[in-house]
Amino acid sequence: GVWNIEVMDTISNETKYVQAKVVVNATGPWVDSFLKNHSKQTKVDNIRLVKGSHIVVKKLFNHSYAYIFQNSDGRVFFAVPWE
């Protein structure tokens, strides 16, 4: 399928229409609020929010992978190698 999306430039108030095969909702803990205010879809039941942290660390190896660690209480943190 294809998403048909109406977007508005909040500075010029110009509206445009775009199509996409994939849409990433990166609103984090505001996902329900965003969908309620900006979408016809008002609730997503399969979203599980977790508390976590992203930590940038010195890159020690020659690859582009990040690492995820999970505490016993379910919280996670990501170690993201950089330069």
* 29 and 56 together in one domain: no
* 45 and 55 together in one domain: no
* 54 and 36 together in one domain: no
The answer to whether the CB of 27 falls within 8 A of the CB of 47 is no
Rounded CA-CA distance 5/52 in Å is 30
* 44 and 68 together in one domain: no
Q: What is the pLDDT of residues 11-65, one digit of tens each?
A: 999 999 999 998 888 888 888 888 888 877 766 776 777 777 888 999 999 988 9
Residue 10, pLDDT score:
93
3-class DSSP state for residue 36?
helix
* 42 and 64 together in one domain: no
Domain that holds residue 74: 50-83
Residues in the chain: 83
* 38 and 74 together in one domain: no
* 35 and 57 together in one domain: no
